[in-house]
């Protein structure tokens, strides 16, 4: 059987036609990406801005009996735990002749180069140069590149910036509240620029499509006060708010779940690359208000690769039925939703794509000039603008802070004895529908009202914040 080709396809639209049908050729050459926020190397604006903060650089489980080679912000490094249990993060190439210290020998104190035996301490001090004469001064005049590092709850953190500008590590209240909270580390690698990974967060509309119905099973149902709330299949009504004096933002996703209730969900972005998320499991919204279930850092490896490091929060508040699985969290693995890592087969990922496929395949560096944004993309463009403002304000290549160690730039400090407040949450509130009222605008207003309560919690002592919020929401009349 012969298939006839349409005459219109043979003839084409004709010279001078403005038709965009079959207009792939008319698109022209793909322009280069905008590198202001994408480039993270030394002396780039974003690279210098990033270097003013602490970042996870590997999992604790990756520090074994041999050194662990890593690449962060375009720098080639080696992480190790010496036999005294101290963590070191140092430049990969030995200061003697450049041999990679990933082949070094971990010592009781420091790491020894395999080539000529130079012994380097975790702070970069050269402790021994065994091939040199006893009176050699080399070890007193040479220092090796090293960076402050520590371990916490399965993550290794390092500070890669100017030593005189080292900030305190940000202590958020969600790390230790509630009292039974257990932080479990995990990581995912992404073959793409860090920015498109980070901006997946303010694009909350994707959850109603990528994570529900169209490709994979529903993320789940939210349950509150005995009311079953079918969650993510409802399109959210979105709002975005700047926080922390322009150094962070939240998205507010409000959903009408029945004629009496509204589910308000928010995730927080703390610049340059932290996020705090609300509940992940079906029973996450069982209470009037629940707090953070997930904290993540979106860490650049270089301009074309990134890591997502994080902590899953396991506690009786966020997961009262114990549905989460700490044992499923680790390297390239976490206990919620498939498609968070790239280890699946190509056929499987095509049939049920997740965040990994959607984000990493926007090109290695997404080309913003080719985007055609809609109303649901307001948060993404707002985030880019805010990050650009922060970089231009705070990134000073080679500059020095006049107040070394005075808190983390852009994050701020809690008062003495208190923790930094977080704004990732879920809340289900009674907000009945009323005839003749624009319910969409009403639901959006409910979301902003709930957020105002969450923001007001900042003024409460950290140990009392959750209780205070629940009291306020239970009394709310909408």
CB atoms within 10 A of CB 187: 25
State residue 400's pLDDT score. Answer: 43
Q: How far apart are CA 296 and CA 275, in angstroms?
A: 5
Contact 293, 312 (CB under 8 A): yes
* 3-state DSSP of 234-267: CCCEEEEEEEHHHCEEEEEEEEECCCCEEEEEEE
State residue 224's pLDDT score. Answer: 33
Q: How far apart are CA 82 and CA 119, in angstroms?
A: 12
Which residue's entry shows tokens 């298939």? 3
Q: How far apart are CA 205 and CA 211, in angstroms?
A: 10
Q: How far apart are CA 7 and CA 463, in angstroms?
A: 74
Nearest CA to 410 among 432, 431, 387?
A: 387
Task: Give, to the nearest 10 degrees, the angle between helix 465-474 and helix 439-456.
Answer: 150
- 232-290 pLDDT per residue, tens: 667 889 999 999 888 999 999 998 888 888 889 899 999 999 999 988 764 444 556 78
Instruction: For residue 349, give the DSSP letter.
Output: H
Q: How far apart are CA 260 and CA 228, in angstroms?
A: 12
Instruction: For residue 202, give the DSSP letter.
Output: T
Q: Model pTM?
A: 0.90
Superfamily of domain 173-474: Naphthalene 1,2-dioxygenase Alpha Subunit; Chain A, domain 1 (3.90.380.10)
State residue 356's pLDDT score. Answer: 87
State residue 205's pLDDT score. Answer: 79
CA distances (Å), 359 to each of 127, 251, 354, in order?
45, 19, 9
Contact 204, 379 (CB under 8 A): yes
Structure tokens that stand for 351 in this block: 């049939």
State residue 458's pLDDT score. Answer: 87
- Paired with 296 in beta bridges are 275, 310
Architecture per CATH, 52-161: 3-layer Sandwich (2.102)
Q: How far apart are CA 326 and CA 312, in angstroms?
A: 8
Q: Mean pLDDT, consecutive 10-residue segments, the chain of 478 residues?
A: 57 59 85 96 96 97 97 98 98 98 98 97 97 93 97 98 94 93 97 96 81 50 35 79 90 88 91 92 58 95 98 89 90 86 88 87 94 91 95 68 54 75 89 92 95 90 88 85
Give me the residue spans of the domains in the chain: 52-161, 173-474
Strands (E) located in 98-208: 105-106, 111-112, 119-120, 126-128, 146-147, 149-152, 155-159, 182-190
State residue 353's pLDDT score. Answer: 84
Structure tokens that stand for 53 in this block: 């903060």
Q: How far apart are CA 380 and CA 366, in angstroms?
A: 13
């Amino acid at each position: 059987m012969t298939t006839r080709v349409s005459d219109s396809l043979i003839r084409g639209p004709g010279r001078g036609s403005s038709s965009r049908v079959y207009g792939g050729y008319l698109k022209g050459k793909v322009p280069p990406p905008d590198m202001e926020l994408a480039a993270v190397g030394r002396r780039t604006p974003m690279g210098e801005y990033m270097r003013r903060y602490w970042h996870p650089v590997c999992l604790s489980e990756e520090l074994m009996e041999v050194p662990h080679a890593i690449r962060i912000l375009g720098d080639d490094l080696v992480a190790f735990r010496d036999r005294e249990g101290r963590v070191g993060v140092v430049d990969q190439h030995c200061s003697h002749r450049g041999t990679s210290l990933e082949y070094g020998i971990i010592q009781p104190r420091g790491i020894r180069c395999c080539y000529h035996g130079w012994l380097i301490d975790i702070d970069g001090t050269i402790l021994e140069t065994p091939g040199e004469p006893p009176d050699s001064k080399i070890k007193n005049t040479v220092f090796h590149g090293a960076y402050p590092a520590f371990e916490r709850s399965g993550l290794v953190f390092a500070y890669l910036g100017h030593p005189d500008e080292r900030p305190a590590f940000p202590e958020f209240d969600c790390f230790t509240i509630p009292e039974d909270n257990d932080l479990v580390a995990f990581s995912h690698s992404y073959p793409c620029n860090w920015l498109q990974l980070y901006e997946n967060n303010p694009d909350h509309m994707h959850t109603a499509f990528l994570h529900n119905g169209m490709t994979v099973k529903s993320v789940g149902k939210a349950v509150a006060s005995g009311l079953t709330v079918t969650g993510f299949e409802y399109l959210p009504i979105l709002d975005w708010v700047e926080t922390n004096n322009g150094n962070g933002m939240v998205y507010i996703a409000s959903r009408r779940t029945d004629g009496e209730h509204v589910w308000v969900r928010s995730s927080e972005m703390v610049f340059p690359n932290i996020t705090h998320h609300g509940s992940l499991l079906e029973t996450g919204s069982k209470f009037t208000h629940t707090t953070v279930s997930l904290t993540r850092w979106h860490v650049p490896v270089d301009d074309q690769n990134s890591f997502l490091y994080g902590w899953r929060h396991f506690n009786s508040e966020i997961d009262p039925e114990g549905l989460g699985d700490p044992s499923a969290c680790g390297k390239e693995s976490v206990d919620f939703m498939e498609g968070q890592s790239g280890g699946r087969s190509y056929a499987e990922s095509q049939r049920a794509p997740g965040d990994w496929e959607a984000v990493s395949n926007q090109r290695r560096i997404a080309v913003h000039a080719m985007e055609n944004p809609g109303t649901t993309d307001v948060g993404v463009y707002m985030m880019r603008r805010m990050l650009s403002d922060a970089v231009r304000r705070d990134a000073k290549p080679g500059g020095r802070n006049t107040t070394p160690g005075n808190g983390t730039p852009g994050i701020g400090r809690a008062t003495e004895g208190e923790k930094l407040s977080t704004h990732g949450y879920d809340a289900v509130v009674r907000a009945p529908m009323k005839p003749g009222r624009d319910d969409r605008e009403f639901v959006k207003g409910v979301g902003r009202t709930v957020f105002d309560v969450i923001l007001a919690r900042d003024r409460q002592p950290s140990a009392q914040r959750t209780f205070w919020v629940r009291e306020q929401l239970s009394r709310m009349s909408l």
